[in-house]
Amino acid sequence: MFWAKTVSDRTGTGVFLLKPASMKHKQSLVMAALVCAASLLQFCSKNDTTIVSSSSTNTTVTNTVGTLQLPATVFNYSNVSFPAHIANALSVVDNTPLNNPITNDGATLGRVLFYDKILSKNNTISCGSCHRPDMSFSDSAIKSRGFIGGLTARHSMRLLNVRFYRSGKMFWDERSNTLEDQVLQPIQNTTEMGLTLDELISKVSAQTYYPALFQKAFGNTDITTDKVSKALAQFVRSIVTYQSKYDKVKQGLASFTQDESDGETLFLTRGNVTCAGCHAPPMFLTSNPDRPFALQDATDRGINNQDRFKSGSLRNIAATGSYFHNGSVATLNDMLASNIPQHGVAAQDRQKLLAFMQTLTDVTTIADVKFSNPFK
Ligand code: HEC
Ligand code: HEC
């Protein structure tokens, strides 16, 4: 009875853990144990999940490849208040389909799927292996390694601000029309994760923790590829960077240095087709790479074999490495000093453009626990 009462008394915010600091150590331990038991009970009561152990803050469940830890209360993915310069842009370019809005439970399921290695044939690779949060959801390697060690054909893309890509087309060559379609491709890719969709469903269904997560996200425990796709897309769409120095400056909360400010001016005004003409603020991407631009690459001609490529959001560009579709440009300085069309600039402009691009880095968002790997 006492346990049940504890559960029903929960405010749903996990505040039990934030009891007054004055509370004696022993009491807080007891309280932590209660909260723990309460969240476990809540988790257990709705499904057949096997609880193996628990920490003081999380519900902890076994997995064939790790230990899943989720907080008692879901994180906020659906209702983030973006500053005006971001919100205004989003209202115009958002590629979220009407039938798949971001919900907290949907993105939570997506987060688990994103980091779950059972989505690969031999349980060694997850989406997060090639889209690492510490690398702004890209990879440090020029080409990433798949489940049996094979290399991807192109450099991994940063999964930031994907929902601002108006056309919704995904991959460097835009071969996928929507994010919902895209997220099932790596799972079936014979280099990357190597599963058939039937294998995907049977492996996901075999994990004890999924029925409850599907129930919360979609209202029933049926596990289908459509739901896997929707949940993964919700999670990826929820990764939005809006806490960089650039964003603070746009809100009047900080100011650029002289170099940063000169760099922004160059970015917006330099050349016939400006940098911003292709990489449009505030997310520094364009939804239709129709302008003539080619990084010479005889082996890969991109969109419709026309030597065109998508460029994802340049946000956090200075926090990653290996640039362009083939990862052939090692540093931003190399790019600015190169003879790549539109991308090589005069020596005196390089430091300024570099300084400006560095202001686009948002370390707060990529380190947010709600985007982190829930498997320990
Ligand atoms: C083995 C490495 C690897 C794995 C695993 C992987 N990706 Fe990728 N991802 C890549 C590479 C490489 C690209 C670019 C491929 C291309 O354009 O041909 C990419 C591109 C993408 C894009 C396109 C982004 C854009 O702006 O167009 C999305 C979205 C994405 N991946 C999501 C995922 C999801 C979700 C998973 C897990 C289901 C996943 N990836 C698993 C390497 C990987
Ligand atoms: C004509 C359109 C165009 C213009 C102008 C342009 N870019 Fe690009 N940029 C692209 C495209 C397209 C790509 C991706 C090409 C590829 O991977 O082969 C790209 C790639 C990049 C990348 C690497 C992105 C990544 O994810 O690896 C950076 C950084 C960049 N551009 C910065 C700039 C700067 C700075 C300027 C101005 C000096 C500029 N661009 C001008 C279209 C443009």
Q: For 47-61, what is each residue's pLDDT tens digit?
A: 333 444 444 445 677
Instruction: Please check whether residue 322 is in contact with residue 330, taking contact to mean a CB–CB distance below 8 angstroms.
Output: yes
Residues 192 and 22: their CA atoms lie apart, in Å, by 51
Whether 162 and 190 share a structural domain: yes
Whether 251 and 353 share a structural domain: yes
Task: Give the residues across from 375 on adjacent strands.
Answer: 68
Whether 291 and 188 share a structural domain: no
Average pLDDT over residues 19-38: 39
Domain that holds residue 36: 2-71
Residues 321 and 141: their CA atoms lie apart, in Å, by 8
**Among residues 37, 71, 105, which one ends one of the domains?**
71
Of the chain, the percentage scoring pLDDT greater than 90 comes to: 77
- Closest-lying ligand to the alpha carbon of 180? 1
pLDDT of 5 higher than 60: no
**What is the CA(138)–ligand 2 centre distance, in A?**
17
Whether 101 and 218 share a structural domain: yes
Query: How many beta carbons lie within 10 A of that of residue 232, not counting itself?
Result: 27
**Which residues approach ligand 1 with their CB closer than 6 A?**
114, 119, 125, 127, 129-131, 144, 146, 152-154, 156-157, 159, 162, 170-173, 179, 182-183, 186-187, 192-193, 232, 236, 310, 312
Residues 208 and 364: their CA atoms lie apart, in Å, by 33
- With left for phi above 0 and alpha for psi between -120 and 50, is residue 116 left, alpha or beta? beta
pLDDT of residue 204: 98
Q: Residue 192 CA: which ligand 1 atom is closest? A: 1
Helix/strand/coil percent split, the chain, to 5:
40, 5, 50
Q: What is the pLDDT of residues 110-163, one digit of tens each?
A: 999 999 999 999 999 999 999 999 999 999 999 999 999 999 999 999 999 999
Q: Residue 294 CA: which ligand 2 atom is closest? A: 18
pLDDT of residue 235: 98
pLDDT of residue 63: 67
pLDDT of residue 375: 95
pLDDT band at residue 66 using 50, 70 and 90 as cut-offs: confident
Whether 225 and 124 share a structural domain: yes
With a CB cutoff of 8 Å and minimum separation 6, the contacts of 239 are: 137, 159, 160, 161, 162, 365, 371
Instruction: Please check whether residue 130 is in contact with residue 144, taking contact to mean a CB–CB distance below 8 angstroms.
Output: yes
Q: What is the pLDDT of residues 228-241, one digit of tens each?
A: 999 999 999 999 99
Whether 101 and 228 share a structural domain: yes
Instruction: Please check whether residue 353 is in contact with residue 266, taking contact to mean a CB–CB distance below 8 angstroms.
Output: yes
pLDDT of 3 higher than 80: no
pLDDT higher at 22 or 355: 355
pLDDT higher at 8 or 273: 273
pLDDT of 257 higher than 90: yes
Lowest mean pLDDT among 7-11, 186-190, 209-213, 222-226: 7-11
**Which residues approach ligand 2 with their CB closer than 6 A?**
273, 275, 277-279, 289, 291, 293, 295, 309, 311-312, 314, 317, 323-325, 332, 335, 342-343, 345, 353
Lowest mean pLDDT among 110-119, 285-294, 338-347: 285-294
Residue among 136, 279, 315 whose CB has most ligand 2 atoms within 8 A, to mutate: 279
With a CB cutoff of 8 Å and minimum separation 6, the contacts of 20 are: none
- Closest-lying ligand to the alpha carbon of 177? 1
Whether 116 and 211 share a structural domain: yes
pLDDT of 41 higher than 60: no
Domain tally for the chain? Answer: 3
**What is the CA(192)–ligand 1 centre distance, in A?**
9
pLDDT higher at 144 or 287: 144
What CATH number does residue 191 fall under? 1.10.760.10
